Amino acid sequence: MKTKKTTSVFTRGLILTAVKDSFSKLNPLTLVKNPVIFIVALGALLTSGIVIAGTRGGHFSSFDLQISLWLWFTVLFANFSEAIAEGRGKAQAESLRRSRTQVKARKISGDHEETVTSAMLKKGDFVICEAGDQIPSDGEVTEGIASIDESAITGESAPVIRESGGDRSAVTGGTKVISDRIIIRITSEPGNTFLDRMISLVEGAKRQKTPNEIALSNLLLGLTIIFLLAVATLPAFFLYSLKASGLPPSQNLSLPVLVSLLVCLIPTTIGGLLSAIGISGMDRLLQKNVISTSGKAIEAAGDVDVLLLDKTGTITLGNRMATDFIPDEGISAGELADTAQLASLSDETPEGRSIVVLAKEKFNLRAREVQNLRASFIPFSAQTRISGVDLFSAGGEQQRIRKGSSEAIKTFVQNNNGFYPKNIEETVAEIARSGATPLVVAKDDKVLGVIHLKDIVKGGIKQRFAELRKMGIRTVMITGDNHLTAAAIAAEAGVDDFMAEARPEDKLARIREEQKKGHLVGMIGDGTNDAPALAQADVGIAMNSGTQAAREAGNMVDLDSNPTKLIEVVETGKQLLMTRGALTTFSIANDVAKYFAIIPAIAISLYAGSNGKGPLSVLNIMNLGSPQSAILSAVIFNAIIIILLIPLALKGVRYRPVSAMEALTRNLLIFGLGGIIAPFIGIKLIDLLINL
């Protein structure tokens, strides 16, 4: 999916389908869901009827016909915007559906195996999957470890490891086992798997209006009702005015003119584009490989003002890196580096590798062939908190090299009747104070020095947090580190607050506490122990690599399992809300110009003097050609503006990380002021074209 994505809004196939769908959406049952456009459609129907009746009666009116056609176009354009937004989702759903084929599953029942189809699997069943098998349904690995190709869902071709226990036990139906054998406990009922839900979400089949969308629809409906009344009462005032100017009542406003006025005044622009904006918000998230279980969650993301971020992976690179060798008195830095490198040669942890690399970079020490050293390695364990190597020097005597925590090395040296120097203790304390991790290196009874292991804060993250702060979003770093270390990293990364020595239940408590103060909290997590916090957070993003429990608890899933996604999700949410507000403002501001086009046009004959022009013709500040062309131009502008704004509705207004005040000023200038001015220009141009 990721690779197939196109950045362009329109492709040929998409447009053709959307054009077709715009017509099928003329179904009244579909139309009625959008009251503003439904009223336009009724108006179009009414004027068409008048045209047909008129033609039959022998007095065909080309003006009425044109009005009626443009009203139909208005409806079709609105339908088109929705269809094209849905179309992009449908294409993605189609590719997903291909991976949801029926497969045979090896179900364990009692002590034997039976082959069933994947559709027959129930929650709680156990199945066996081996290399080459497609995983039949969502589940959790209960036994074994396997590498799995998840490209069908994530678009990422590199296989991932899934194993029983721990935080990487969830597997998704439709993905493929590449190696090894695992036993999976099925965790979802047929028809309700992750893939199923994803398809229906992407297709928009289950799309429900979000709270803000409902509020906005209410606003639009309210405005529509009042404009309906303003237009409906107009013939009465007009009749009075006709009488007062000595004109016959037969010159009263015709229905097509009234319908035109109504359609121009009701907020058709935002009414037509509203649903496209909502769908495209989900779509934009999808392009970032994030799937939201509801539109509501995206909207909530815009409101989030506190982000809980795990230190590891989000703020710092996953691993600590060696940045310095600090030798004890009488030892050269080179000797320390050499020893440290030896101790780390077969240490496959990222920390170990970084020591090898640092020694190479600083002292040009090449990694040696381990076999030649007749070495035996002592791997790190949480109990001993020490690792190292036993080897034989050129002289044949055995050397025991160790690296580990200060406490562990102290014990090691003292057991070898050695002495743990005071200045090493001081160095250790100093490094710890700076927020880094000290690793002490010893050879037999002698301490050689300290390796400075540092958490590397991700490049650009500080700036990112500064941007968030500008938008009024507070960041809280969560780490299991001690307070000193956490404080130092927090300062370096520029987060607003941190929680040190945090346990999973602390996370949940923190979210509750923030929410109590009125904040909306966003977080991203992966482990089973994150699930309660994910469920409690207003926006909880589960990483796709995480456990099934986490995926169920959150309201979004990040297919890339990239913790910084949270920030992008917030931005998408804000952009969605901004786009709605901007187009609403634009739509309402447009009305000013339309009044100046239509009112003088319809009232030209009232109280007319000798030149045939009534007093209200001074309102014709655009100097439009004729009353008919003025009305037609307003209606055409009203229809065309929908088409012109579709790209904006789909892409969203340009988003910048600025304060509310700046964002408002900017959007107000473009869409408020622009909304007042643009139609004056647009209507005038169309009028010029019509009167060519």
Active site amino acids = 310
Residue 307's CB is within 10 A of a number of other CB atoms, namely 25
Question: What mask, x for binding another protein by CB under 8 A, covers residues 410 to 449?
Answer: ----------------------------------------
- Closest to another protein by CB, 231 vs 549, is 231
Nearest to 544 by CA among 97, 168, 187: 168
- Is 103 a binding residue for another protein by CB under 8 A? The answer is no
* Residue whose tokens read 């030149």: 611
User: What does the alpha-carbon distance between residue 178 and residue 172 come to, in Å, rounded to a whole number?
Assistant: 14
Q: Note whether 228 and 262 are within 8 A (CB).
A: yes
Which residues in 633-692 contact another protein (CB under 8 A)?
655, 659-661, 663-665, 667-668, 671-672
Question: What mask, x for binding another protein by CB under 8 A, covers residues 595 to 634?
Answer: x---x---x--xx-x----xxx-xx---------------
User: What does the alpha-carbon distance between residue 575 and residue 566 come to, in Å, rounded to a whole number?
Assistant: 14
Which residues in 303-332 contact another protein (CB under 8 A)?
303, 305
- Chain CA centroid to CA 141, Å: 29
* Secondary structure element (H or E) that encloses residue 199, with its range: helix 194-203
Q: Note whether 679 and 640 are within 8 A (CB).
A: no
Shortest gap between Cβ of 570 and another protein (angstroms)? 9
Q: Three-state SS for 379?
A: coil
Among 57, 459, 518, 612, binds another protein (CB under 8 A): 518
Question: What mask, x for binding another protein by CB under 8 A, covers residues 107 to 146?
Answer: ----------------------------------------
Shortest gap between Cβ of 663 and another protein (angstroms)? 5
Q: Name the segment binding another protein (CB under 8 A); options: 112-120, 133-141, 160-168, 216-224.
A: 216-224
Among 269, 574, 593, 597, binds another protein (CB under 8 A): 574
Q: Name the segment binding another protein (CB under 8 A); options: 135-143, 219-227, 342-350, 683-691.
A: 219-227
- Is 588 a binding residue for another protein by CB under 8 A? The answer is yes
Shortest gap between Cβ of 619 and another protein (angstroms)? 7
User: What does the alpha-carbon distance between residue 87 and residue 13 come to, in Å, rounded to a whole number?
Assistant: 10
- Closest to another protein by CB, 173 vs 302, is 302
- Is 566 a binding residue for another protein by CB under 8 A? The answer is no
- Is 244 a binding residue for another protein by CB under 8 A? The answer is yes
Q: Give all strands (DSSP E) within 352-500, no chain letters.
A: 376-378, 386-392, 398-404, 437-443, 446-457, 474-478, 497-499
Residues 6+ apart with CB under 8 A from 81: 272, 273, 275, 276, 642, 643, 646, 649
- Closest to another protein by CB, 21 vs 303, is 303
User: What does the alpha-carbon distance between residue 135 and residue 129 come to, in Å, rounded to a whole number?
Assistant: 7
* CA dist 546 → 191, 195, 308, 526, 529 (Å): 22, 16, 17, 4, 11
Which residues in 256-285 contact another protein (CB under 8 A)?
261, 265
Among 111, 132, 237, 417, binds another protein (CB under 8 A): 237
**Which amino acid is it at 268?**
T
- Closest to another protein by CB, 32 vs 660, is 660
Q: Note whether 579 and 277 are within 8 A (CB).
A: yes
* Secondary structure element (H or E) that encloses residue 661, with its range: helix 660-667
- Is 517 a binding residue for another protein by CB under 8 A? The answer is yes
Question: What mask, x for binding another protein by CB under 8 A, covers residues 457 to 496?
Answer: ------------xxxxxx----------------------
- Closest to another protein by CB, 14 vs 307, is 307
- Is 239 a binding residue for another protein by CB under 8 A? The answer is yes
* CA dist 310 → 457, 476, 542 (Å): 12, 8, 13
Shortest gap between Cβ of 592 and another protein (angstroms)? 7
Q: Three-state SS for 267?
A: coil
- Closest to another protein by CB, 161 vs 214, is 214
Among 9, 42, 520, 640, binds another protein (CB under 8 A): 520
Shortest gap between Cβ of 272 and another protein (angstroms)? 17
Q: Name the segment binding another protein (CB under 8 A); options: 10-18, 21-29, 50-58, 215-223.
A: 215-223
Residue 14's CB is within 10 A of a number of other CB atoms, namely 18
Q: Three-state SS for 405?
A: coil
- Closest to another protein by CB, 324 vs 467, is 467
Among 79, 212, 339, 544, binds another protein (CB under 8 A): 212
- Is 589 a binding residue for another protein by CB under 8 A? The answer is yes
Nearest to 475 by CA among 647, 265, 306: 306
